[in-house]
């Protein structure tokens, strides 16, 4: 196989370092992630990916199963399969949902009644019930959803998008992550650049306190002095690079310094969400008595401000969905925490004319089972991991609105209509951004590599 890249997403780093005898000023380095043209007409320019870490139950949120009411507490024996962990086998009990559902929107989509505010925006949402994961373990499933590889080490979806399209705002990272109170299972590998150049990795903001430390220069250090220091470092690194051209991380390291310098002027303005109107803060559930929604609300509002400022890919992480027991209590808290903020995000984007060009994605790493073997009665039951059925939804950015695509069987165990693996979901997201997975490639370890690993197909039923 040829070692030539099938898709050149960035200029040669060696050309930038040594070409024409030029120094490494901020203009040259900015070109490393400058905006690039898509492969075909894009339907979306930005992505806000709402990651529900832990595996939210589709059966208890957006895919109700009345059949489980009749089967409740029916005992059966379950054998292990590829998609079952040991804890999911043996003596099992079907369990009904402890929640109530109602129809919302013009299409009458059935959703949990706890989604009060969200019920008002379902006409802008495309619910997809046909996605099929490949793992029932949190770290491997999260890696698969985020990077296309269950074993980690590959570039994240956001890194591929940044590599393929570049950044709109040279003063901000093109891929930002807004974690919960802790990192998801698998840690920072969920937003890694993998084998792509280091400047494409996701940049996490701190969940508490100042989102970014050391935004202001030390006392007495002027912008002119910082510029002179960076220029000196660039000259020294250029000389080092001439002697050691195999050190390909050098240019990315210099760019990280340059980006940090540029961020000092831009980032503080974007992070000042308290300057939003009081009505906007209240809509997102921020401040005051809104303790349950404040954290998610702040991150959703910040996600809107970031894409508005030109950040290409923002991932918001919401943890706490791993409900093996006491699902009524645990899922109720999670649904209450996201209801107002996510509804506000979609409303806000639409009011600002941004929803058509921003693809909003909501997904966990897998769904949950219609049965349980840990609890056998009362209100203590929960659900186990389920890779063969899950619900995701999308809004804006070229997807259908107010519809349900795909279906699961009568107990919610398996997807049975419009069934696709996660790699097809990835290919579809890239397609909406104007990127062709078969052209978006990077030569590594002796072969051309791509997000889907081996290729995939666009899920046409999701497209508007």
> 202 and 315 in contact (C-beta within 8 Å)?
yes
* Mean pLDDT for the stretch of residues 234-245: 72
pLDDT of 456 over the 50 cut: yes
Question: Any idea which of 41-50, 87-96, 132-141, 402-411 has the lowest mean pLDDT?
Answer: 87-96
Mean pLDDT, the chain, integer: 87
pLDDT band at 335 (very low <50, low <70, confident <90, very high): very high
What residue spans define the domains of the chain? 13-462
User: At 115, is the pLDDT very low, low, confident or very high (cuts 50, 70, 90)?
Assistant: very high
Percent of the chain with pLDDT over 90: 69
> CB–CB of 135/387 below 8 Å?
yes
pLDDT at 365: 98
Place 242 in a pLDDT band, splitting at 50, 70 and 90: confident
Q: Considering the entire predicted model, what is its pTM? A: 0.87
């Amino acid at each position: 196989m040829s070692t030539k890249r099938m898709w050149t997403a960035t200029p040669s780093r060696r050309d930038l370092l040594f070409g024409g005898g030029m120094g490494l000023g901020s203009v040259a380095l900015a070109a490393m992630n400058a905006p690039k043209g898509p492969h075909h007409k894009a339907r979306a320019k930005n992505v806000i990916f709402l990651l529900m870490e832990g595996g939210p139950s589709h059966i208890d949120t957006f895919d109700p199963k009345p059949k489980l009411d009749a089967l409740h507490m029916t005992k059966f024996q379950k054998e292990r399969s590829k998609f079952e962990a040991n804890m999911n086998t043996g003596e099992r009990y079907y369990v009904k949902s402890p929640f109530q559902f109602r129809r919302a929107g013009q299409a009458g989509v059935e959703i949990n009644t706890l989604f009060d505010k969200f019920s008002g925006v379902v006409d802008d949402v495309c619910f997809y019930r046909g996605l099929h994961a490949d793992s029932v373990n949190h770290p491997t499933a999260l890696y698969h959803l985020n990077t296309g590889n269950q074993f980690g080490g590959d570039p994240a979806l956001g890194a591929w998008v940044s590599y393929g399209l570049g950044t709109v705002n040279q003063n901000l990272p093109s891929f930002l992550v807004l974690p919960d109170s802790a990192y998801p299972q698998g840690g920072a590998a969920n937003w890694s650049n993998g084998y792509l150049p280091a400047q494409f990795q996701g940049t996490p903001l701190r969940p508490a306190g100042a989102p970014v430390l050391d935004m202001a220069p030390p006392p007495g250090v002027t912008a002119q002095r910082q510029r002179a220091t960076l220029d000196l470092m660039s000259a020294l690194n250029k000389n080092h690079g001439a002697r050691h051209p195999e050190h390909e991380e050098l240019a990315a390291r210099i760019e990280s310094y340059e980006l940090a310098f540029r961020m000092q002027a831009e980032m503080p303005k974007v992070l000042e969400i308290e300057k939003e109107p009081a009505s906007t803060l209240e809509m997102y559930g921020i401040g005051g008595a809104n303790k349950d929604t404040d954290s998610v609300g702040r991150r959703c509002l910040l996600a809107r401000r970031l894409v508005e400022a030109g950040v290409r890919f923002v991932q918001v992480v919401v943890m706490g969905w791993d409900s093996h027991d006491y699902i009524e209590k645990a899922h109720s808290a999670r649904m209450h925490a996201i209801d107002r903020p996510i509804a506000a995000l979609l409303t806000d984007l639409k009011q600002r004319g941004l929803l058509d060009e921003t693809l909003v994605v909501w997904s966990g790493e897998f769904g949950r089972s219609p049965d349980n073997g840990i609890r056998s009665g009362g209100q203590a039951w929960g659900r186990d991991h389920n890779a063969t059925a899950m619900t995701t939804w999308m809004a804006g950015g070229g997807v259908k609105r107010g519809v349900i695509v795909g279906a699961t069987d009568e107990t919610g165990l398996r997807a049975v209509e419009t069934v696709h693996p996660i790699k097809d979901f990835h290919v579809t997201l890239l397609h909406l951004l104007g990127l062709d997975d078969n052209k978006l490639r990077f030569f590594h370890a002796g072969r051309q590599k791509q997000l889907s690993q081996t290729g995939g197909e666009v899920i046409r039923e999701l497209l508007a």
